[in-house]
Homo-oligomer: A and B are copies of this chain.
Amino acid sequence: MIGVTILGTGNVAKHLFNACLASTEISIIQVYGRNAESLSYFQEKAQTTGNILTLAPADIYIIAISDSAIAKISKELVHKKGVVAHTSGSTPMKALSKNNRRGVFYPLQTFTENRTLNFKEIPLCIEAEHESDRVLLTSFAKILSDNVYEINTKQRKGLHLAAVFANNFTNHMYHKAKEICDTNDVDFELLHTLINETAAKIKDMTPYEAQTGPGRRNDTKTVKKQLKKLKNKNHKKIYSLLSRSITKTYGKKL
């Protein structure tokens, strides 16, 4: 049985909490949060505390709070015997106090309130300073997910940056598509099947191979027509930069 304390009450904390609860091999020792209201989600099913001085012993302390607060909270944990791991993609392991048994437990997923996720599918990226802590964090992660990876700080930063393109920017493309649908009086839902297929395709081929469209074909006529159709300046800028970038990728110049 692995005893885990979660520090934080946001979306990552909630999803991790539920995944831990579902396992008979993990015991949640405590959930720590600064205000009572945010702890209400957890208190029926686990012990909670708003006072960091009252943290009980645990094997692992998971810090699931905003990046900017990680260093500070880790200093409050320097007398703990357990491993202290943060969950941030872009924060170095060494941002944690050097008096901690330092580690990282980075779940590569976008966590949204009230959405059910299959935690077993989420890639969990583990890093640890000491070999025994790496073993412990990995065992913990393997209880929760079928996809556990050892990833160092440099790789994790790269992964987080790649995720910004694959998730944040992709979602922004969906948003732009919806704006264009709204302007043209068509329902954004019509694009759902296409969006699904676009995401599915890159499991069977590389995105390089999967690319289609006027930019890929160097179809300057359609590109010019579509640029003209776009009235919003910001849409025009994005369309123009990305079309050029696609055409450049395939070795042609617009």
| A residues in contact (CB < 8 Å) with B | 67-68, 90, 108-110, 112, 115, 117, 121-123, 125, 147, 149, 151, 154-155, 157-178, 180-181, 183-186, 188, 190-199, 201-208, 210-216, 219, 221-222, 225-226, 229-230, 234, 237-239, 241-242, 245-246, 248-249
B contact residues around A123 at 8 Å (CB): 190, 193
Q: How far is the CA of A108 from the CA of B168 in the complex (A)?
A: 24
Question: Can you sample 17 A-B contacts with CB below 8 Å?
Answer: A67-B222, A108-B190, A110-B197, A149-B190, A155-B185, A158-B183, A158-B185, A159-B181, A162-B181, A162-B186, A165-B180, A165-B239, A166-B195, A167-B198, A170-B198, A171-B198, A234-B248
B contact residues around A238 at 8 Å (CB): 165, 169, 241-242, 245
Q: Which of B175, B207, B211, B212 contacts A207 (CB 8 A)?
A: B175
Residue of B nearest to A156 (CB): B186
What is the predominant secondary structure among interface residues of chain A facing chain B?
helix
- State how many angstroms separate the Cβ of A73 from the closest Cβ of chain B: 17
B contact residues around A225 at 8 Å (CB): 90
Contact assessment for A202 and B197 in the assembled complex, using a CB-CB cutoff below 8 Å:
no
Copies in the complex: 2
- State how many angstroms separate the Cβ of A195 from the closest Cβ of chain B: 5
Contact assessment for B115 and A174 in the assembled complex, using a CB-CB cutoff below 8 Å:
no
Contact assessment for A177 and B165 in the assembled complex, using a CB-CB cutoff below 8 Å:
yes
Q: Which of B196, B202, B214 contacts A171 (CB 8 A)?
A: B202
Q: Which of B162, B194, B202 contacts A163 (CB 8 A)?
A: B194
